[in-house]
Amino acid sequence: MSQPVITDYLFDEAAYNTHDGGYIPLEAPTTSPQPLAIPAIATPDRVEGQDVYYTITAQTGEVQLLPGAKTKTWGYNAPLLGQTFVYHDGETVHLHLVNHLPEVTTFHWHGLDIPGPIEDGGCHAPVYPGEARDVTFTIHQPASTDWLHAHPCPSTAEQVWHGLAAMAIVQDDHESRLPLPRNYGVDDIPLILQDRRFHEDNQWDYRADYDPDGVQGPTAMINGTINPYFDVTTQKVRLRILNGSNRREWRLHFSGDLPFTQIAGDNSLLPEPVTFTHLMITCAERQEIVVDFGQYHPGDRVTLYSDDVPIVQFRIRDFAPDHSTIPAHLFDVPEYHVDPDLPVKNVVLSGMDEEVMIDGKKFDMQRIDYEMPMGKCQIWDITSTNDMVGGMIHPYHMHGTAFQVISRNGHAPYPNETGLKDTVSINPHEHVRIKVLFNVPGVFMYHCHIIEHEDGGMMAQIKVVDPAHPDVQYHLMDHHTLMQAFAKERGVAMKDLWLGGMESYKKMGMHM
């Protein structure tokens, strides 16, 4: 029996970002098409058995994005975005993290199940300009597409906007045996979706573009390329799509409504593939799809759109016939058995603009909002209480774990939410229930991944306690120390320091 094809975007249309008062629509590119940039795979410093060593440098750069002046950018081991880091299940990763930026930053591994707060790289693991930090962690998780980005509260959004966002791929033995495209750069292609506004001399100006509900720009930037094209030399192409935007939702479809098959979500393959013609990806989500170009001929062109704006053109070249089929079953989702002694944990996302909060509070770097035992599964109920007309969709993210979505308002989750995830978007007034289980200890954040919302306080912290070591204490950075660092590095007095997220605290009469 053939699989049904899903032809809509699934989420509540009334809550799409197109209805925001500050919505900035994408504009069709007017510059000449450019080859899609494919980030290079990072080369380890050395490999010793299952131990692999990397140096990762956060650095400044300049990139020719538009005709005229080069754009000043930031990146990881690259002038913009970063190299792609490929890790393998079971290996131990040793990282030498170097900061060559003019200000403090952190290195957050979004999607990796690794201890916190230091290895995880949230706001409690600062690396100051000219300094370095060494971290080590072991990969124990299924194959997935993840990412590295800055997370120095409350300047996460600005640093990601500067360009600090790179893809990370986890590989495992199970995925490697499946008949899926995996020749990186040929038939296995990263697509990092972002948007920008270019100001005078082709520069980005975060403060000029600031919006507490999320910064957007009219120009689509894919892998750091404006108006990209990709030469298709294989019948089937796997696209690893990352929404690396601060705010934008991307509603994707191909010309001619070409169907495609989603094979993976955030943290794992899907149990079964799902076929779409239209697919919405919200902030920080990852979705892997396989596109079959078998009906096309050399010289044909197929366009990927977001809404009605072209964002990538696929130029068909000669390719050999590919008669392989995607297996009907891809992945066995692990069994999470809910601990009967753990009650349902309720989380309420509220507000828009400067009023954003979780459970009626803004984020405090030194406050633990919840404790949970490692290795035990609990149901969390996440809801959004937007009371403005239409409301908005909040992408809810948890550090340090991969959860399972079990229901939306008591009904089944969307068909492409059946694997492991770390980000799930909540429609206004909707209750989404998830099974949460941490396999690593530490202090972790959970928050809305509209990045200006997390900087503005829509974030909280959980302490995951290892029963074998219940008395471990964690040093939590205080916000004032980070603020002092930003002020010193920017050469301004504390009273004159501007950080976008702090405007939300000030206007609400609160402090971090």
User: Domain limits of the chain?
Assistant: 32-176, 188-316, 345-480
Confidence of residue 67 (pLDDT cuts 50, 70, 90): very high
Closest C-alpha among 394, 385, 361 to residue 508: 361
pLDDT above 70 coverage of the chain, percent:
99
Residues in the chain, how many?
A: 512
pLDDT confidence of residue 388: 62
> C-alpha angle 408/355/505, rounded to 5°?
130
Q: 359 φ, ψ to 5°? A: 55, 40
Region of 375 (left: φ > 0; alpha: ψ -120 to 50; beta: rest) is: left
Residue type, 3: Q
pLDDT 10s digits, 336-368: 999 999 999 999 999 889 999 999 999 999 999
Q: What class, spelled out in words, does domain 188-316 have in CATH?
A: mainly beta
Helix, strand, or coil (residue 8):
coil
CB 429 within 8 A of CB 385: yes
pLDDT confidence of residue 386: 76
Helix (H) or strand (E) holding 208: helix 206-209
What CA–CA distance (Å, rounded) separates 127 from 104?
6
Q: What share of the chain is helix, strand, coil (3-state, %, to 5)?
A: 10, 40, 50
Q: Which residue has the tokens 């309420």?
A: 348
Confidence of residue 199 (pLDDT cuts 50, 70, 90): very high
What CA–CA distance (Å, rounded) separates 449 from 405?
17
Mean pLDDT value of segment 294-310: 98
pLDDT confidence of residue 387: 65
pLDDT 10s digits, 120-147: 999 999 999 999 999 999 999 999 999 9
**Token digits for 336?**
């999470």
pTM over 0.95: yes
Neighbours of 385 (CB within 10 A): 14
Confidence of residue 510 (pLDDT cuts 50, 70, 90): confident
Sheet holding 5-6, edge to edge: 5-6, 269-276, 260-264, 286-292, 236-243, 188-196, 219-222
pLDDT 10s digits, 27-54: 999 999 999 999 999 999 999 999 999 9
Residue 389 has pLDDT above 90, yes or no: no
The answer for residues whose C-beta is within 8 angstroms of residue 488's C-beta and 6 or more apart is none
Q: 309 φ, ψ to 5°? A: -110, 125
Rg of the chain (C-alpha set):
22
pLDDT 10s digits, 224-256: 999 999 999 999 999 999 999 999 999 999 999
CA distances from 427 to 12, 163, 382, 385, 424 (A): 6, 28, 10, 9, 10
**Token digits for 140?**
């124990």
DSSP string for residues in 401-419? --BEEEEETTBPPPTT-SS
Q: 101 φ, ψ to 5°? A: -85, 170
**Token digits for 31?**
């510059």
pLDDT 10s digits, 429-452: 999 999 999 999 999 999 999 999
pLDDT confidence of residue 1: 42
Closest C-alpha among 436, 438, 437, 434 to residue 405: 434
pLDDT confidence of residue 2: 62
Pick the range with the lowest mean pLDDT from 234-248, 288-302, 468-482.
Answer: 468-482
pLDDT 10s digits, 321-331: 999 999 999 99
CATH 3.90.1010.10 matches 345-480:
no
Q: How do strand 423-426 and strand 394-398 relate by DSSP bridges?
A: antiparallel
**pLDDT averaged over the chain?**
96
The answer for residues whose C-beta is within 8 angstroms of residue 116's C-beta and 6 or more apart is 122, 124, 399, 400, 440, 442, 443, 444, 464
CA distances from 436 to 110, 177, 254 (A): 16, 29, 35
Neighbours of 65 (CB within 10 A): 22
pLDDT 10s digits, 81-97: 999 999 999 999 999 99
We find that the CATH architecture of domain 32-176 is: Sandwich (2.60)
What CA–CA distance (Å, rounded) separates 198 from 51?
42
Helix (H) or strand (E) holding 451: helix 451-455
pLDDT 10s digits, 399-427: 999 999 999 999 999 999 999 999 999 99
CB 378 within 8 A of CB 345: yes
